Amino acid sequence: MKLRLSADAIRLLIPALSLTVLLAAVFWLQPRAMSYVGLNLLFNLAVPIALATIAQMLIMAVNDLDLSMGTFVSFVACVTATFLRDAPLLGVLILAGAILVYAGLGVVIHLRNLPSIVVTLGMSFVWAGLAVLMLPAPGGQAPDWVRTLMTAKPPFVPMAIVASVFIAVIAHFLVMRSSLGVLIRGVGGNQRSVERAGWSVVYARAMAYGLAGLFAVAAGIALVGLTTSADANIALRYTLLSIAGVILGGGEFIGGRVSPIGAVVGALTLTLAGSFLSFLRISPDWQIGAQGAILIVVLALRLLLNRIENREKGR
Amino acid sequence: MTGQALQAVIEVAGARVSFGAVKALDGVTLAIMPGECVGLVGHNGAGKSTIVGVINGGLTPHEGTVSGDGAVIARYGIIAARSRGVRCVFQELSLCPNLTVVENTRLMHRQLGGFGWRARARAIIGRSLDTVFPGHGIDCELSVGELSIAERQMVEIAMAFSDAGITPRLVILDEPTSSLDASLAEQMLAHVRRFVGAGGSVIFISHILGEILSTADRIVVMKDGRIVAERPAADFTEHSLVEAMGSVVKGEERRRAARDLANAPVVLEHAGRGLPFRARRGEIVGLAGLAGHGQTGMLMKLHAASSGDWLPRKDPAVTFVAGDRRLNGVFELWSILRNFSIASLGDLSRQGLVQADAEAERGADWRKRIEIRTRDMGNGILSLSGGNQQKVLFARALSTRAPVVLMDDPMRGVDVGTKQEVYDIVRQEAANGRTFVWYSTEMEEVCLCDRVYVFREGAIVAELAGEAVTEESILAASFEGTAA
């Protein structure tokens, strides 16, 4: 075997590197964060973001984009804090129905050849409306089992890290190792050749959307487990965070190039960027702008690396 | 199955396919017997790709039947074709560049699923690569996007010959050697002979006639959607093949009068691989050769070289007539007038505002000049027929002040009447000193040009001028030569 890093490994390098640098910076600013409790606090909120990022990644794997991720996660959070606690069976049915709707969206988008951005943007209003109907004011309560799960204290390694690794491994097997994952990424890479090989592209899209719905549901439940109550606007940021996470983690908008491990790392990096800025005592007014600046720096590094890679190939 | 005469693997009978007004296949009957290699040749638009599409199940003929092993197959489609062992290597890349070679193998063989498919897929593609291209050195864990073009083509060919449960019986190779070097092409052709010797069938399409003559058992020559010659390969020579592909004697009245432009100033120049490109003032320069051999690329380069990068130029140097109207020609939601005037808005506006009167006046003027068939230039562009839309695109280009017009096969799917009208306009404008660079896939149009560059494999390989511009010499130049 030649000693040569595969393109996928290079893709993972940047997100891993930026996470390490940020983490080192945080530890340097605030050495007390270097503990079980500290790490858990730092990465707690990364778990739902990582799940939402995986969901977005599945949709981006088939060259689409989901602009309803934030409102959908909010909707799921509201269902979790109300129905799933008070009438578990009904709650489960609602969530299962929502996943089916997601799969249906994939079918409609494919059959009618609609732009996914438009369809999901439309759906975002539907989800937001349903969420407001359920919880007009912040409230509700997390089901006990969710609370227990999210606040569990495994020995040695905090829950946030265990959960992130778990999510990354599951998503990696699903997307990178399974036949279904190959099919989904194949649709993103060259839809025509997938068709020519006799596969149903509708099926592949429906599965990608359905799985995305499943991960988004998990994101909503995890979020409520952390916050204990829900609100119709609780996760609106997730739409952009999830897209940023996928891109940060080495994914691309088109071409079926995605990396589940990278996506989870990207989500962790995004969360950490927020804490890092707080530790720097940057006023909240500037934080979003500073977060954007971090994103730009990391993505610029990616572009640079891509260029070097292309130049080598051109030879 | 026993004792009967040999039955065709796939037989297409009386197939007709038309795309709009264009007849792509006009009653083609073709039977592929087991253990033979059929060479398929023809110029652009002869119907080669269409018949391939019918055989691999991607296209359903509007008329005619497909039968396999002696029985007519009622619902012949991609899945039916694949389950009969029909495989195809396409001219353009048909692998997923983001997936590894192993994963692509998984996609190509639907029945490969289940636990441990990676190991099985690796074994299958590895075995096939070793058989077809011994000593290939391709790492099957790399993604296809990381491979060189030749390696991708090798993987694709090996993929078609690979056996994962369903034995390949008929493999269609559409220009398989276009990006392989001589020794790799030799390995592939040797494998084709072995495969055929073992009872498989191959349909072999190539623009390198030497390959076809040495590899095929039988050669089918197509032209205008019909089979015009079908004989054992031994009965053909390179010369007779070229002759069979060409056909009609041109109506001499269509030919332009020979003009002496040797002293006209050169307005456009480009040096690349192959012969240098040069166009003089008032000249109609044709770009010919098989489709996709670099003609459009040349037009793009010419355009890029003479238009501003960032800032708009005050006086346009070149203008472009697109061939693919839908892709880069018309603004579908705009009116005819807007579509027409977009290229010359700079001339029609004062202080940044479009002079509506001047725009309408110029529109009406051109509508008369090239007879755009509409009552109102305010109608949507899509209310026009394809030919008239194309005329609007011509008017758009010609109404600018640019002295050079680049045309990218603009007559695709245009009716004969419109073509004649446009030919007249082009000749008139050329006489007035405009230069035209005209890429066309139609012989008749190429023969209208003063001078013709013939392209092969991305480079100009021949320059024909004046009386030398004939169908025969163009065909000879585009098919000539040995393996790449």
Tens digit of each residue's pLDDT (9 = 90 or more) over B228-242: 889 999 998 888 888
- Asked if B98 and A179 come within 8 Å (Cβ–Cβ), the reply is no
- Report pLDDT digits (tens) over B36-84: 999 998 877 778 888 998 998 888 888 888 988 888 888 888 888 888 8
CA distance A237 to chain B (A): 30
Taking CA–CA distances from A193, the nearest residue in chain B reads: B94
Residue B20 has what pLDDT?
67
Residue A174 has what pLDDT?
95
Is residue B248 within 8 angstroms of chain A, CB to CB?
Answer: no
Q: Which of B68-72, B116-120, B247-251, B351-355 is the least confident region? A: B247-251
Residues in A closer than 8 angstroms to B101, CB to CB, are: none
Q: Is residue A2 part of a domain?
A: no
**Average confidence (pLDDT) over A108-112:** 95
Other Cβ atoms less than 10 A from the Cβ of A33: the count is 17
Residues in B closer than 8 angstroms to A193, CB to CB, are: 94-96, 107
Is residue A182 within 8 angstroms of chain B, CB to CB?
Answer: yes
Q: Calculate the average pLDDT of chain A.
A: 90
Is residue B354 within 8 angstroms of chain A, CB to CB?
Answer: no
Q: Is residue A105 part of a domain?
A: yes
CATH class name, domain B252-317+403-484: alpha beta
pLDDT surpasses 80 at B328: no
From the list B96, B143, B146, the residue facing A193 with the nearest CB is B96
- Asked if A179 and B110 come within 8 Å (Cβ–Cβ), the reply is no
Cβ pairs A/B, distance under 8 A: 71
Is residue A2 within 8 angstroms of chain B, CB to CB?
Answer: yes
Band of the pLDDT at A161, cuts 50, 70, 90?
Answer: very high
Residue A260 has what pLDDT?
95
Residue B413 has what pLDDT?
64
pLDDT surpasses 90 at B193: yes
Residue A312 has what pLDDT?
64
Structure tokens at A2: 């030649």
Portion of chain B with pLDDT greater than 70, in percent: 92
Band of the pLDDT at A7, cuts 50, 70, 90?
Answer: low
pLDDT surpasses 60 at A197: yes
- Report pLDDT digits (tens) over B369-394: 888 878 888 888 888 877 788 888 88
**Average confidence (pLDDT) over A154-176:** 94
CA distance A310 to chain B (A): 10
Residues in B closer than 8 angstroms to A1, CB to CB, are: 139
Band of the pLDDT at B3, cuts 50, 70, 90?
Answer: very low
Name the residue ranges covered by the structural domains of chain B: 10-245, 252-317+403-484, 329-401
- Report pLDDT digits (tens) over B438-476: 998 777 788 888 889 998 888 888 888 878 888 888 888
From the list B79, B107, B139, the residue facing A186 with the nearest CB is B107
Q: Is residue A314 part of a domain?
A: no
CATH number (domain holding residue A113): 1.10.3470
Is there a shared CATH topology between the B10-245 domain and the B252-317+403-484 domain?
Answer: yes
Q: Look up the domain containing A168 and give its range.
A: 7-305
Which residue in B316, B352, B337 sits closest to B396, CA to CA? Answer: B337
pLDDT surpasses 70 at B243: yes
Residue A278 has what pLDDT?
84
Q: How far apart are CA B296 and CA B11, in angstroms?
A: 36
Q: Is residue A310 part of a domain?
A: no
Domain count of the fold of chain A: 1
Taking CA–CA distances from B102, the nearest residue in chain A reads: A182
pLDDT surpasses 70 at A141: yes
Residues in A closer than 8 angstroms to B94, CB to CB, are: 190, 192-193, 196
pLDDT surpasses 90 at A185: yes
Q: Is residue A1 part of a domain?
A: no
Residue B90 has what pLDDT?
81
Best B99, B138, B166 member to test A by mutation, with max A CBs in 10 Å, is B99
Band of the pLDDT at B174, cuts 50, 70, 90?
Answer: confident
pLDDT surpasses 90 at B271: no
- Asked if B98 and A195 come within 8 Å (Cβ–Cβ), the reply is no
pLDDT surpasses 90 at A92: yes
C-alpha dihedral (B126, B129, B131, B135), degrees to nearest 10: -100
Is residue B156 within 8 angstroms of chain A, CB to CB?
Answer: no
Residue B102 has what pLDDT?
94
- Asked if A197 and B110 come within 8 Å (Cβ–Cβ), the reply is yes
Is residue A193 within 8 angstroms of chain B, CB to CB?
Answer: yes
Band of the pLDDT at A6, cuts 50, 70, 90?
Answer: low
- The answer for A 252-271 residues in CB contact with B (under 8 A) is 255-257
Residue B291 has what pLDDT?
76
Q: Which of B238-252, B296-310, B361-375 is the least confident region? A: B238-252
Superfamily of domain B10-245: P-loop containing nucleotide triphosphate hydrolases (3.40.50.300)
From the list A6, A189, A196, the residue facing B78 with the nearest CB is A196
From the list A188, A192, A195, the residue facing B98 with the nearest CB is A188
Band of the pLDDT at B252, cuts 50, 70, 90?
Answer: very low
Residues in A closer than 8 angstroms to B96, CB to CB, are: 185-186, 188-190, 193-194, 256
